[in-house]
Structure 1
């Protein structure tokens, strides 16, 4: 059964969304999830652990990427 990784990128508002990636993000978090739906809902807990969580919606935003691992 394939598993997926939900990758959460936290980028500053000065970074255009099309350039928000693992290299430009100020924080990169990830969690293993069972399916692609988990990529949409399985990351809230890890965002809360980010030191930049309080910046979201003010001077930072987040983007999620879903990758198949197996």
Structure 2
């Protein structure tokens, strides 16, 4: 099995301050979309860029709230 290695991600793992709570919830609740890399806000979800992606243009589509069932 090949391992995916991306040395630029070590900055993320080793260097950032501890964040209280969920980083996705924090980004959603903040009004600074540019700082948090939020690209779109919808009624049920938002789109955020990954600060340290494995490939170019990696995006995450996230629900606006924590829910227990994927289908919901």
Common topology (TM > 0.5): no
Structure ranking higher on relative contact order (CA contacts 8 Å, 6+ apart): 1
* Normalised-by-shorter TM-score class: under 0.3
Quick check: which one's strand share is greater? 1
| Bigger Cα Rg | 2
